[in-house]
Structure 1
Amino acid sequence: MLSLSASLSLLASVMLLGGCGILFQHHEKRADATLQPTGGNTASGTVTFIERADGVQVSYNLSGMPPNSDHALQIHERGDCIVSGSDGGPVFAPASERTNSGSKVEGDLASIHADANGSATGFIVASDVSLDGVRSVLSRALLLHRDAADTYAITPHGAGPALACGVIRQ
């Protein structure tokens, strides 16, 4: 049988190790963007970015779009939405060698579809971006464009003017 001091020592060790587990637990990397309508538009909503093993899960809940319409959801280089969402700069493309071939760039997340009520809810997995390092989307502008992303343009308005804009923040 263990002595009282040995039992207390064992209990203290178990509690200490249990406390260390809290310190070393995997903490989910997460960021959010609140999209506000640009001048003359009504689109708005929230977008959440959660880093997973297979990429960044981008969950969106948007409203105020034209009914039954398709729109590009894109990350732009600069985190600025001051002038109608147009100050975000070009679409985020850290792998510049890919932009010359006309292939999809990292910041072109997806085209989303608004339902009959002008709302869109869902998620995509963006495997080419992250929440840290050179492919980080933090502090960049997230724009909801008027048109769908059917071409991979690198220009600031490749998918038409912005309906809503927000900055991605932790």
Structure 2
Amino acid sequence: MRERTGGRRPHRPNVAAAGLLLAASVTLGGCAAFFGPHEKRADAQALPTVGNTARGSVTFIERSDGVQVTYNLVGLPPNSDHALQVHERGDCNAADGSSAGGVFAPAADRLKTGVRRAGDLGNIHADATGVAAGFIVAPDVALDGVRSVVGRAVIVARDPGDPAFPDRNVGPALACGAIRR
């Protein structure tokens, strides 16, 4: 007995197309395994403000426990400590770095006084040759969303920060760099 299809041909799987789809899946799956997952990353090239020599690179990589901030800076005063901060705007055009605005704080945090700002990453130490290299894990910032540092500026301040007095000024910027993906 013959099957009725109402004038249409019965649907038969296309073996060639299925084979091609399988081959493409295997190939793309192999690429993903080869390249691995891509990390969220942003970078800044910190350049000296007028009258200073500090410069270097700062890299931001998002991790499960926060953003790892890796810095490699030269030209700092020997054996000195400095605050490393993220500022509101990614604008380092002013000679003194002031165009970067204030220390980054998400909207709700801006209203609080005496509280450490998310952009206060911590203090760094320059060795006897004026080099500061290392990393800080910043749990209060991200590379996406309202706590994102992308599009802002990283500042190396003249003085170290004091966690007991977060509103205390850390002096002028020695270097400034816009944070970009």
Q: Is the 8 A contact 2:109 2:117 kept in 1?
A: no
Give the Cα separation in 2 of the matches to 1:40 and 1:98.
31
Deviation of residue 22 (structure 1)? 4.2
Give the Cα separation in 2 of the matches to 1:133 and 1:141.
16
Structure 2 counterparts to residues 1-170 of structure 1, below 5 A: 13=22, 16-20=25-29, 22=31, 26-83=37-94, 84-94=96-106, 96-97=108-109, 100-150=112-162, 151-153=165-167, 158-170=169-181
Q: What secondary structure, in the 3-state scheme, does the structure 2 residue paired with 1:13 have? A: helix
Deviation of residue 44 (structure 1)? 0.3
Deviation of residue 61 (structure 1)? 0.3
Q: Is the 8 A contact 1:55 1:128 kept in 2?
A: yes
Deviation of residue 42 (structure 1)? 0.2
Deviation of residue 98 (structure 1)? 6.9
The one-letter code of the counterpart of 2:42 is: A
Larger radius of gyration: 2
Give the Cα separation in 2 of the matches to 1:97 and 1:167.
22
Quick one: structure 1 residues 41 and 29, their matched pair in 2 at CA, closer, same or farther if it must change by over 3 Å? Answer: same
Say what the alpha-carbon RMSD is for the aligned residues: 2.6
The total of aligned residue pairs comes to 163
* Structure 2 portions without partners, runs of 5+: 1-14
Deviation of residue 14 (structure 1)? 5.6
TM-score computed with the length of structure 2 as normaliser: 0.80
Q: What secondary structure, in the 3-state scheme, does the structure 2 residue paired with 1:131 have? A: coil
- Deviation by residue 1:82-134 (Cα, 9 ceiling, x = unmatched): 11211111100105347524121100001111000011100010011000000
* Structure 1 portions without partners, runs of 5+: 1-5
Give the Cα separation in 2 of the matches to 1:74 and 1:21.
41
Give the Cα separation in 2 of the matches to 1:41 and 1:110.
21
Q: Equivalent residue for 1:3?
A: none
Give the Cα separation in 2 of the matches to 1:95 and 1:58.
22
